[in-house]
Structure formats: C-alpha cells, structure tokens
Chains A and B, each alone.
Chain A
C-alpha cells in the first residue's frame, strides 16, 4: 500500500462513484419520483425514508463520506487535465471534458441542494412536498435544479462507462461501444425520472 497509494486512491474514487454513491443516486431519484403521484404519496415516501432504522449511520457512511472523498479527489483529478477538444474534437474527448465539467457543476449544485434541504431539515424545517414546491416556485431555482439533475445523471452514466474500463470489465472496442449505448440508456432513463420529479412540484 505504501508504494501504490495513488493507484489505491484512484480505484477507490472509481468504486465509490458507483458503489455506494451511484446506487444512492438511483434510490434518491426513485423516491423523488413519488412527487409525480401527488403530494400525499410524496410525503409518505419522504416520511418512510426519514424513519428508516440506522438513518444517520447510513447517511454518513453510504452517502456523506463516500461523496466527500469522491468529490475532493475528483476535483484534484479534474484540474490535472489540460483539455484539447479544439484539436481533438472526438466524441470520447468531449465526454472526458464533460465528465470533469459536470463533476464541478454537481459539486456546486449538491452543496446548494444539501444546504436548502438537509441542513434546513437539521435546523428544524420539515421536509415535505411544500418545501420543494416553495423552492422551485422561483424559476431561477427550477432551472438550477434541472441543470443540476442533468449534470448528475450525465456524470453518473458517463462515469459508469469509464468504470467498466477502470476495472477491466469492458476491454474490447466492441464491448466499449455497447457500453456507450447502455450508459446512454441509463442517462436518458435517469434524466427522465429526475426532470419529471422536479417538474411535478411546479
């Protein structure tokens, strides 16, 4: 371990992006989708999540710490690149660039989102349908939410594609091509779920 610290950190960064953070995002989006079924069902779902056993332990170890590590190390990785899409305007080079841009957007969005919801809740505000409805009443906030959601789904889906390579799952060009289509599907599906959920509050 002493010698291969960087290798270990990179592999951790990759793993944590999918397990648990990616899985958390899927659950989070899934629960949010209750908003499309109306206020009562949404509040019930939120209530269920809020009262899960081991809530704080899970929040810390499945959500907070993994995201914190992935985000901090992710910023370090992102600023190591010198982008050259001007001269090499290939699809994958653009995805490489967008992966880094979307990571930064997700970071900013998430800080704001957590401040307005989770921190507010910790300060005693009740989390429910009205809370979100009040936030997205402001069209600027709604647009920020949509940008944040799409950045997250892109970052996760494209990250899933490179995760396959990082762990040596998709080795051949053909497997990577198929993986591009599969992760595109993941992106479209999650984006639909996310955007439909937020629009339901409007």
Chain B
C-alpha cells in the first residue's frame, strides 16, 4: 500500500442558518483523482484527519464532464468545477469552500436559484408559442451560428457571479451570465423579434446592466471561455441606443 496521502480542508455548514467551520481530511492517494473522487472517498469513509467519525460532506454533481455546472465550488480560492479539478494539479492541502455568493444549503451545496430567476427576468429564450404553427424561423448564417454557439455554452454554473466584486449581499446586480444570454437570444433571428423587450428589462429596476463596474473578473473566471465582458460592452451599446429610442421616440422601436 502506498504511504502517500492527500489533505483537504473543507469549509462545512450544517444547514442554511448553520455556522460555518473547517474540517480537515486525509485520504489515501490514488492516481488521477479529481476533487469529486476525493469527496466520494470521504463519503465512503467519513473520518476526519484526527480520526474522529464525522458526517459525510455534502456536494452536488451531475454530468462529471463540465457541462452542467452543478459541482461548482471554491477550490484553493478560485471558483471552478470540482469534476474537472484534478488533484495532481492542485496545491495541498486542497481548500474547498462553497460559493458563498449564493445561499449555502449544506457544506458545499449552494442554491443557485437566483441565476435561474435572472434568466426568467431577461426572457432568455426564443418564444415560439402561438395559436397556430408559425413555421420554421429564418435561417442563421453558419459563421454567426458558430459565434453564437460560444455564447450558448453557458451552464449557469455561477462561477462568474462568485468572481464578481459587484455581485454580493450589498448589491442587486444580476451578474454577467444572464446578461450574456440576452446578447445570445437577441442575436438569434427569431429571438431578435423580442430584442427591445429584453434590452428594456436590462434597464428596468435595480441591479441591471448598469451595475457592472468593469472589474472583468468574470471573463477570466468563466470555465467556458465565454466573452462576457464583450457581451456586456455590446449590450451597453445596444441599451444606449434603445434608451435614446425610448426617450426621443422612434418609428423603429421593437
């Protein structure tokens, strides 16, 4: 048996209102481990580094290939997906914390509801329901489709919100992810039929587009390489034009 072990320090919390505390774990090393497999090992054998029996650490995961976003957590200070965080590439002890920008449900599990609410707020979809069949929509040029595909890779993981200094308990800021989705759906030939409506939702109420302070952490943090800051700047251009149309009136305002 190999003597090598890996060490983890996990920030835990019993429930939503619980106080957070740190617990240390020491596990036998195996090759090609990721953070998820380390957490599975703790679940199999829930003893902490002091050898005391403890409760298994709670965490979430689904796809295990960085497309669902469920397993996001703060690993050694940086928010990222734990399924693609390879133990061999991490400095030890590995520090795991929940993404505290969101309400912590338990241990490493957070509630990302606010992101899904944001998608609803900005109507991040292509409305096609009607009383009759609308037929196929207009075609999209292939080059544009490839560009839009990059924006569509967002998995609502929340890493960009966690990285943003303006998304916090003192601010209502909607965060980069939903903003970029507005750009995606406004670029879609059918989605564009609701362009003005989506732009107006970004200007209405508190915490909209204008809350961005351009720290540009989001674009550095996004695991999907989505050009979030370009989307935000492009939306600034679109909303500026839209607000002029709203204010001065326009015969071309939709």
Contact = CB atoms under 8 A, between A and B. Distances in A.
Interface residues of B, number: 39
A86 interface: yes
Contact of A168 (B206, B227, B233): B233
B180 interface: no
Contact of B205 (A6, A162, A173): A6
A173 B200 CA distance: 25
A63 to B, nearest CB: 25
Interface string B62-85: 000000000000000110000000
Interface of A: 3-4, 6-7, 10-11, 77, 79-84, 86-88, 90, 92-93, 95-97, 99, 161-162, 165-173, 176
B230 A96 contact: no
A80 B210 contact: no
What 10 A-B pairs come out closest when comparing CB atoms? A168-B237, A96-B215, A10-B210, A92-B216, A168-B236, A171-B233, A7-B203, A87-B77, A82-B168, A4-B203
Contacts of B170: 79-80, 82
Interface of B: 77-78, 163, 165-166, 168, 170-171, 200, 203-211, 213-217, 220-221, 227, 229-230, 232-241, 243
B233 A6 contact: no
A14 to B, nearest CB: 8
Contacts, number: 112
A3 B205 contact: yes
B180 to A, nearest CB: 13
Contacts of A167: 236-237, 240
Contacts of B163: 84, 88
Contacts of B204: 3-4, 7
Given A92-B214, A168-B235, A168-B238, 4 more contacts: A3-B203, A162-B213, A168-B237, A168-B240
B200 to A, nearest CB: 8
A97 to B, nearest CB: 8
B213 A92 contact: no
20 contacts: A3-B203, A4-B243, A6-B210, A7-B204, A7-B208, A7-B210, A10-B211, A77-B213, A81-B168, A82-B165, A87-B78, A88-B78, A90-B217, A93-B216, A97-B165, A99-B213, A162-B213, A167-B236, A168-B240, A173-B229
Nearest to A171: B233
A12 to B, nearest CB: 10
A39 B71 CA distance: 68
A78 to B, nearest CB: 9
A81 B165 CA distance: 5
Contact of A162 (B209, B214, B227): B214
A119 B200 CA distance: 44
A81 B213 contact: yes
Contacts of A170: 233
B217 A84 contact: yes
Contacts of B227: 173
A6 B208 contact: yes
A64 B31 CA distance: 66
A81 B215 CA distance: 10
A6 B208 CA distance: 8
